Amino acid sequence: MTDSPKIKLATAWMDGCSGCHMSFLDIDERIITLAGLVDVVYSPLIDIKEFPEHVDVTIVEGAVSTDEDIVRIKRIRKATKLLIALGDCAVTGNVTSMRNPFGIDGIMDRAYDENATIQKQRPSAHLPVLLDRVCPLHEIVKVDVHVPGCPPPADAIWAVVTELLAGRTPDVAALTRFGR
């Protein structure tokens, strides 16, 4: 008898603080149980450079703020059966989108001119192009599950992931809320 193949799980980090990935790691010893259920095929936690094809579940934290983010999230969506927006930045834009009212020039002036005391200059080489407006994932691609929280608690992440892996729809509202 052969074992059925494990579910292919990926995690990705867009524009955010990485707090959601830290909360994911806070599932502690349950990560060993998870490793028995899935193959992690892409993540900032492992050393794989290219997002693979045919991923079953992808958990994405962070908002979309650059032209490169748009390309990445579209690639992820195309290769993923089930996409989870993890955390308030992925779900609403949250802190990352606080720059929206000021515009790109206003933000760049503040960061590289007004707050600099020496060598006042904007970086110009090898940088992605900032979007006029930071946006949550669902404004660019279809999101299957939204998990709010800043960051969502580890127990909520565990419950959502294990419910989805079991083929059930998690009651996210009972597990976490915005800003939690």
Q: Given this model, what pLDDT does residue 4 score?
A: 65
pLDDT tens by residue, 99-115: 999 999 999 999 899 99
Kind of pairing between the strands at 64-66 and 55-61: unpaired
Residue 2, pLDDT above cutoff 70: no
Q: Span 111-140, mean pLDDT? A: 91
In the chain, % of residues over pLDDT 90: 83
- Considering the segment(s) 7-100+132-175 as one domain, its CATH architecture is 3-Layer(aba) Sandwich (3.40)
Residue 1, pLDDT above cutoff 80: no
Residue 144, pLDDT above cutoff 90: yes
Residue 14 near residue 64 (C-beta atoms within 8 A): yes
Q: Which residues pair with 30 in a beta bridge?
A: none
